[in-house]
Amino acid sequence: MAKKVTVVGAGFYGSTTAQRLAEYDLFDTVVLTDIVEGKPEGLALDLNQSRPIEGFETKVIGKTTGTDGSGYEVIEGSDVVIVTAGMPRKPGMSRMDLLEVNAKIVRGVAQSVARYAPESVVIVVSNPLDEMTALTQLATGFPRQRVMGQAGMLDTARFSHFVAEALAVPVASVRTLTLGSHGDTMVPVPSQCTVNGKPLTELLPAEKIEELVERTRNGGAEVVALLKTGSAYYAPSAAAARMARAVAEDSGAVLPVCAWVDGEYGISGVYLGVEAEIGAAGVRRVVETPLTDDERAALHDAAEAVRAKQSDVAA
Ligand SMILES: NC(=O)c1ccc[n+]([C@@H]2O[C@H](COP(=O)([O-])OP(=O)(O)OC[C@H]3O[C@@H](n4cnc5c(N)ncnc54)[C@H](O)[C@@H]3O)[C@@H](O)[C@H]2O)c1
């Protein structure tokens, strides 16, 4: 079946995501949009010209859209829409500093997505992530399972990379897990982390694990401080593209995502970072992982912190 994916926002995150999606050679069409006149068209032309070299048939369509929703006909029939529109952080900024400006952008984008791609699964990446995901669900009116956010895959990837470096082992042998929010209340789950199947807690002292957790928690800020002009996009785009792929392939992959939680872990009524089975309809189900008492308490704290902020956005 013909597959179509749209990436809204052709900045660093959006353009690298479009590239990864096109190079999968899985979709018939990748649509890239932005409000900056000519930018998505130019990037699409450039990406299409890489097709003979990279060897993919997917066509990339670039389209300038207006904040009034003009141009959005191009997204019609999209199976998946990835929302990257919005400001990134500058050094010293927290993700919450972006709330006001990005809420306005994301609300407008979500309304246009609901109008032109009413059957799509939406993956939100704009920050602050948990709040923008909740806002997108409200503004689209989509079933909650069809709206999710990308954060956990990135935080987990960062954690795995740091563990692999610390132990000098292949990254493929490392499995880590983070839950909670994409921010200060990220909840690392050391009890579920393994290296070649061995518990991480047996391979590294608790202080070293805590140091890696702290670096993971500040992983985004570390990149922002080095770049000075914007935030990370290679690892983030890899994460969003993989989520879109799981939807397109209806794969049932269990991935850490920001999903609506309804009773799992004794938590209800909030978008939160959890593991979930992803398929064509979005989140098939949230998958509960065994947690220690401390990890469970931290997840409850994270849920309450994001719940308060998500209701501010909804107001
Ligand atoms: N969830 C995550 O893990 C994660 C990771 C990295 C970045 N981010 C977030 O992703 C967002 C994008 O980051 P970036 O590095 O691509 O920033 P960027 O500044 O490079 O690109 C943002 C793009 O959005 C466009 N835009 C603004 N308003 C728009 C609208 N109404 N419709 C369509 N496009 C619009 C801008 O013109 C710009 O091209 C930021 O909010 C950033 O904080 C999230």
Per residue in 286-313, pLDDT (tens digit) is: 999 999 999 999 999 999 999 988 887 7
Q: What is the pLDDT confidence band of residue 200, given thresholds at 50, 70 and 90?
A: very high
72 lines ligand 1 (CB under 6 A): no
60 lines ligand 1 (CB under 6 A): no
pLDDT mean over 94-110? 94
Q: How far is the CA of 81 from the centre of ligand 1 (A)?
A: 14
71 lines ligand 1 (CB under 6 A): no
Atom 26 of ligand 1: nearest residue by CA position: 85
Count of alpha carbons within 13 angstroms of residue 227, beta-carbon side: 16
pLDDT mean over 40-57? 98
The model scores a pTM over 0.85: yes
Atom 4 of ligand 1: nearest residue by CA position: 125
Angle at 93 between CA 69 and CA 224, to 5 degrees: 90
Atom 8 of ligand 1: nearest residue by CA position: 126
Phi-psi region of 263 (alpha: psi -120 to 50; beta: other; left: phi over 0): left
pLDDT reading at 160 higher than 70? yes
Q: How far is the CA of 99 from the centre of ligand 1 (A)?
A: 13
pLDDT reading at 315 higher than 70? no
Q: How far is the CA of 235 from the centre of ligand 1 (A)?
A: 15
- Percent of the chain past pLDDT 70, that is, above it, reads 99
pLDDT reading at 86 higher than 90? yes
| Residues labelled catalytic | 182
Distance, in Å, from the CA atom of 47 to the CA atom of 132, rounded to the nearest integer, reads: 28
pLDDT, tens digit, 9 for 90 and up, residues 270-291: 999 999 999 999 999 999 999 9
pLDDT reading at 254 higher than 70? yes
pLDDT reading at 314 higher than 80? no
Q: How far is the CA of 208 from the centre of ligand 1 (A)?
A: 34
Q: What is the pLDDT confidence band of residue 1, given thresholds at 50, 70 and 90?
A: low
Mutate to test the pocket of ligand 1, among 36, 75, 87, 186 (most ligand atoms within 8 A of CB): 87
Q: How far is the CA of 86 from the centre of ligand 1 (A)?
A: 4
Q: What is the pLDDT confidence band of residue 112, given thresholds at 50, 70 and 90?
A: very high
Distances (CA, A) of 44 to 10, 67, 83, 174, 286: 10, 20, 17, 36, 35
Enumerate long-range contacts of 162-169, CB under 8 Å, 24 or more apart.
Answer: 162/212, 162/215, 162/216, 163/193, 163/195, 163/200, 163/204, 163/212, 166/204, 166/208, 166/212, 167/195, 167/203, 167/204, 169/195, 169/196
258 lines ligand 1 (CB under 6 A): no
Ligand 1 atom closest to the CA of 67, numbered from 1: 31
pLDDT mean over 171-175? 98
Query: What local confidence, expressed as pLDDT, does residue 96 receive?
Result: 84
